[in-house]
Structure 1
Amino acid sequence: MRRFFEYVFKLWRWLVLWWTYRPIYKRGTPLAENIKARMAYFKRFRPVIFPVQVYVGDSNAEGFEIGTPGRMLAERGITGRGIGGDTTWGVRQRIRFHLKEGAQTIYLAIGTNDMGGGFDVKDMLDNYRAILEQIPQAIRAVCMNIPPVHPDIFRREYGYDMIQTNEGIKSANVKLEELVQEHGREYRDIFSVLACAGGKLCPEFTKDGLHFSDEGYARIAALL
């Protein structure tokens, strides 16, 4: 009976999270179209470096596949698997695909858009927990925490304020680290290596206050 109620609770939580994240994932939204295009790309261009290592995440992970950052990733034998705009909910749905690609190491770099989209940290962590539970213990999982942002540069670039704050990100990272340790997985503190005094993303490490510059990617690559 206990297992039955646990199953019902998990199903209820899945439905709640599905409904919460549905507005940005429903058919026809920019994110849904990007996911469709990127997944088609992933299926066409399979990892060719063995053992397979994949770097899964959002637009900052996608940016790790281009130009100089792309070479940094390739030199470490890692295949980029980023989707711009994605959240922990999206990675929760596609993590099995990456396992079927034969991944022996999975780098998880996700959570920025959960924070930026105003989603509850508890919901983000529930998704993250579900991601880790889907990855067999025999597969190495390396969890990058949520990076800092620079609100002033972002406002100057885009003309409006971002939702997330560095204080909120730091608080979420404390809980994320606890979750990762609970599951016996590896944790990488990219927040600290990218932050300047005051906890903001260093200007030299960003293009627009949110996305990384080549210098920012180099700091992350050193942790892989």
Structure 2
Amino acid sequence: MMLSISSAFAQFSTYYYQKKTLYDALPNDKNEIIFLGNSITDGGEWAELFRNKKIKNRGISGDVTDGVLFRLEEVYESSPKKVFLLIGINDLSRGKSKAYVHKNILKIVDTIHEKSPKTKVYVQSLLPVNDCYGKFRGHTNKGASVLWVNKKLKSDASAHGYTYINIHDSFANEEGKMKKEYSNDGLHLLGKGYLNWVDIIKAYVK
């Protein structure tokens, strides 16, 4: 996605621009393990959670698939060892179709493979949401779309050369909504939620 800095500033938030320019300025390391996504990724202290200094947090609160595409060069230029991607719920909340989210996630994966062929890409399912708190209504009413995107991401893993990780089901209650023990707003995670996430993906990280 080719945008000028000025047009990006207009399209994305000031926080996005603050974080993007910071990530651009940070040095690259060998064998980086990158966590890439929106606020749910941004909120995790990944290097501490895994006790691994090679892990880099490249989450930006409020980010969307187009935002990830616009800043993707910083991710692949270090030829990272692994990339763990979780993105899409903000697109859905802003009226983007589930097909649009699916297409853009595949574009992110394909671009990483093209620019950094040795990088292993892990696409994590979108997490469940819960509307019981009355917060983030534009996000927490997208449960059906989340399931659709996840189903497509699972089915396309082999064709696009990524590993699909189903983190959704371990966070969902019997109704398919985010368990209250993991979130206090129906969208973002509490500490226990991050510990659950780590437990699900630790074998892939290590």
Q: How would you bin the TM-score normalised by the shorter chain?
A: 0.7 to 0.9
Q: What does residue range 1-224 of structure 1 map to in structure 2 within 5 Å?
A: 27-28=9-10, 31-46=12-27, 50-65=30-45, 71-75=48-52, 77-136=54-113, 137-153=117-133, 155=134, 157=135, 160=137, 162=139, 164-222=141-199, 223-224=201-202
Aligned-residue offset at 1:73: 4.3
Partner of 1:3: none
Local SS of the residue matching 1:135: helix
Describe the shift of the 1:74–1:190 C-alpha distance in structure 2 as closer, same or farther (beyond 3 A).
same
Mapped contact 1:73–1:79 kept (Cα < 8 A): no
Comparing both structures, which one devotes a greater share of its residues to helix? 1
Gaps of 5+ in 2: none
Which deviates more, 77-86 or 128-137? Answer: 128-137
- Overall identity of the aligned pairs, in %: 22
Describe the shift of the 1:141–1:161 C-alpha distance in structure 2 as closer, same or farther (beyond 3 A).
closer
Amino acid at match of 1:204: E
Q: Number of matched residues?
A: 195
TM-score (structure 2 length as normaliser): 0.84
Aligned-residue offset at 1:77: 3.7
In 2, Cα distance between equivalents of 1:190 and 1:47: 28
Describe the shift of the 1:163–1:204 C-alpha distance in structure 2 as closer, same or farther (beyond 3 A).
closer
Mapped contact 2:34–2:75 kept (Cα < 8 A): yes
Gaps of 5+ in 1: 1-13, 19-24
Local SS of the residue matching 1:107: strand
In 1, Cα distance between equivalents of 2:138 and 2:119: 39
Root mean square deviation, CA, Å: 2.4
TM-score (structure 1 length as normaliser): 0.78
Deviations 1:173-199 (A, max 9, x none): 101212223212111111101111101
